[in-house]
Amino acid sequence: MPTLRILTYPDPFLKKEAGPIETVDEQIVTLANDMLETMYNAPGVGLAAPQVGEDKRLVVIDVNQKEGEQDPLVLINPEVVDSDGEVVYEEGCLSVPDCLADIKRAERVRVRGLDLEGNPVDIEADDLLAIALQHEIDHLNGVLIIDRISPLKRELYRRKVRKALKEKQANA
């Protein structure tokens, strides 16, 4: 399985809303497996198809891999159908490198989607899984963690990225 290239901010593809998956076929299964390998190698606890340049509503998550185990969750066309409570959690993102931010999210969520066999899945989650589900579904909707931070912190991050890109171009 190849490791895929993870797009990073400010790539405009990350701001697009991903299209629904109509059929769960071998191409989707292969993409999901490649995304899992990419996520584990990064390392991260979640990855959405738009982060690897795919216009598909597909996410992979594994909140247990931090503990040295692998228990992957693959969801096709996931959507939050219910949420409750509020929690602030420090999040990072593979597509927004060097940015850790306290993000306010629902404490508990209920998410519906399909598994890799095309069967309906209904998940009730809290803790890190609830955070990861919301984070990855945000990616499917073109929302990044920097869209959820204060305008001042967002502008500081943008300046940092612009400066790094200018330095990279000057050294190229």
Active-site residue numbers?
136
Q: Amino acid letter at 74?
A: V
Picking from 65, 107, 67, the residue whose alpha carbon sits closest to that of residue 83 is 107
Please state whether beta strands 73-84 and 58-61 pair in parallel, antiparallel, or not at all (unpaired): antiparallel
How many whole angstroms separate alpha carbon 115 and alpha carbon 71? Answer: 14
Picking from 130, 168, 125, 152, the residue whose alpha carbon sits closest to that of residue 8 is 168
Q: What are the helix (H) ranges across 56-143?
A: 127-140
Residues contacting 97, CB < 8 A, separation 6+: 8, 9
Q: Which helix (H) or strand (E) holds 109?
A: strand 108-114
Give the other-Cβ count within 10 Å of 50's Cβ.
27
